[in-house]
Structure 1
Amino acid sequence: MSSPLQEFSQNLAAILPELHSERLPALLLSMLNSLVPFDNAVILSYTKGEPPQVHYNDIPPLERETQIDAFITGPFVLDPFYRAAVDRGETGLHRLCDLAPEGFEKSEYYRCYFKYTDIKDEVGYIIHLSDDKFLNISLSRLSLSQRFNQPQIAVLKDINAVIETLCKKHWDSQPTTKPDSPLPMQLDSALKHFGTAYLTERESQVVHLFLHGHSTKSIAERLGISPETVKLHRKNSYAKLDVSSQAELFYLFIDSLASLTNYSGGDPLVGYL
């Protein structure tokens, strides 16, 4: 019976000749699965100003439309892994529960998208290929009783340097293929300016933090104001945007993005409302 180190070495030896081939993503994830088992895996690359590109996806075809296909049409800009990479330049292995803001499970991103993935625990590598491009390797478990434990997370962290080097060798030299998408090519800019043409600066801050999944308490602490003031700003914002709930706010954001074809900056609601 081979040792874990021997099995890792054999898997790595099989991967190296496949650099720049279409087989590498599947072989890479097979190696990871032999070290730390998981149920689902997705590899996505993000290039500044472009929609995400899917390099590997083992989610069953019948479920892809409500999961990954829906994810890359806009909600990805609210994903905690994406925001960690873009906003804070995070790299290496991370766990979703460590990146997600307080109130994540009550956010509309969670209610309208994430809960339908059935993911109970998720870890992922963030690998920056250049200043404008990074990779996210997502490993998920679907059972509450089989969450990733600390020794397993330690194993994945220990091989981070190997994973990062393999990915940079494989993906850094590949040309970016721009997928056909009706969404604006500057989604981060659209998110940043969402509602700013209609709301005060403070109201915009509150709305953005709610969209990112923060709770009333978390927003109050971040902005240095009382929870009651947060609620007041939310109430005024909803009235100005003609929405009555966080769900309607989330769908207004997604619909405003989907309606734009030649976005060049500013509030995506201009011309939509």
Structure 2
Amino acid sequence: MHNLATWTQDITTVLAQPPGQPQLQALTHWLQRIAPVDHFALFLYEGSHAPLPLFHTFPAELRTTFVNDYRSGVHILDPFFLGCLFGEPDGLYSMRALSPDSFRCNHYFQAYYHRLGLSEELGYFTTPALHCRAVLSLMRGEGGEAFTEEEMRLLRNAQPVVAQVARLAWEARGEPAADAVLPTTHVRTVFSSFGEELLTRREHKIAQLLLQGYSSQQIADQLRITRGTVKVHRRNLYDKLEIGSQAEFFGLFVRELMGAGLFSRPQRRNRAQQRVEG
């Protein structure tokens, strides 16, 4: 891959394929020559719809976990999805680098990611069109080695090709549903307002940080309060939301995002009048 002529010839071969599955298949074969990868997956995030799997290399026995379970709602906790949602620029990212907490302590890992049996995952963030983001994931299975600095350098150099192929795949995908709404209109609104009618301002801020995967210590450092104070606020917000665990907290957020959360219930909205300034 150090030979410029070979590199250029390989790119030409990839782009010569028909857009969509043939071109994506050629792209993954090319990337495999840069750095060995066990699985590839290209998910499209457009509107309020579930992520659209434009391409993947999972065998049949893994598709339910890697594709169906991911699309069922857990994707809203995915650091790659959140990175796209909140404006990370196009480029190559590591799952570990985007996760704000110790990765194995992150709720996304505990609730879903550990079942994938991956040792490392990289993601190419691309923007195929306005209000549309796509991520091509490169996954190494359990026991796999970390990507080397040389592999990372070569993979970063491949970003323009990945972006072009993803854009062409987006164009070839067919029309999205007519009732699509922008993620910035829906998900960001739910994220920013989640719990605010029942919680104090400080509790609401802590709830937002929890949704992003921050630990109690990291929240304490960011807000310049003690870890014990964070735990008190966390216990209070759990009580007000009538939940008892982090899993229930994230489940409540998912239901709110889908329009079936507690904040749509009139009797709970009445309690907003009791909100205490914090």
TM-score, reference length from structure 1: 0.84
The 5 A counterparts of 1:171-186 are: 171-172=170-171, 175-178=174-177, 186=186
Give aligned pairs, total. Answer: 264
2:263 counterpart SS class = coil
Separation in structure 2 between the aligned mates of residue 227 and residue 244 of structure 1, nearest angstrom = 19
- The question of 1:247 aligning with 2:247 is answered yes
Separation in structure 2 between the aligned mates of residue 15 and residue 48 of structure 1, nearest angstrom = 29
- The question of 1:123 aligning with 2:122 is answered yes
Higher mean alpha-carbon deviation, 105-114 vs 235-244, is at: 105-114
How far did 1:174 drift? 5.2
How far did 1:71 drift? 1.4
1:27 maps to: 26
1:270 maps to: 264
- The question of 1:16 aligning with 2:15 is answered yes
Counterpart amino acid of residue 215 in structure 2: S
> Aligned residues: percent identity?
25
| Conserved 8 A contact 2:91-2:125 | yes
How far did 1:216 drift? 0.9
Tell me the alpha carbon deviations over residues 149-192 of structure 1, each in whole angstroms, 9 at most, x when there is no partner. 111111101222232233334435754434999xx993443333
Separation in structure 1 between the aligned mates of residue 120 and residue 3 of structure 2, nearest angstrom = 23
Q: Which runs of 5+ in 2 are unaligned?
A: 269-278
Change in 2 beyond 3 A, CA 1:21/1:94: closer
Higher mean alpha-carbon deviation, 75-84 vs 8-17, is at: 8-17
Change in 2 beyond 3 A, CA 1:233/1:118: same
How far did 1:85 drift? 2.0
Q: Which runs of 5+ in 1 are unaligned?
A: 261-266
Separation in structure 2 between the aligned mates of residue 61 and residue 207 of structure 1, nearest angstrom = 38
How far did 1:259 drift? 6.0
Separation in structure 2 between the aligned mates of residue 63 and residue 85 of structure 1, nearest angstrom = 25
Separation in structure 2 between the aligned mates of residue 37 and residue 166 of structure 1, nearest angstrom = 20
2:72 maps to: 73
| Conserved 8 A contact 1:92-1:157 | yes
Counterpart amino acid of residue 100 in structure 1: S
Counterpart amino acid of residue 85 in structure 1: C
1:138 counterpart SS class = strand
C-alpha RMSD of matched pairs (Å): 2.9
Tell me the alpha carbon deviations over residues 89-110 of structure 1, each in whole angstroms, 9 at most, x when there is no partner. 3221111111110244223221
Change in 2 beyond 3 A, CA 1:268/1:152: farther
| Conserved 8 A contact 2:43-2:135 | yes
Separation in structure 2 between the aligned mates of residue 65 and residue 191 of structure 1, nearest angstrom = 27
Separation in structure 2 between the aligned mates of residue 176 and residue 222 of structure 1, nearest angstrom = 43
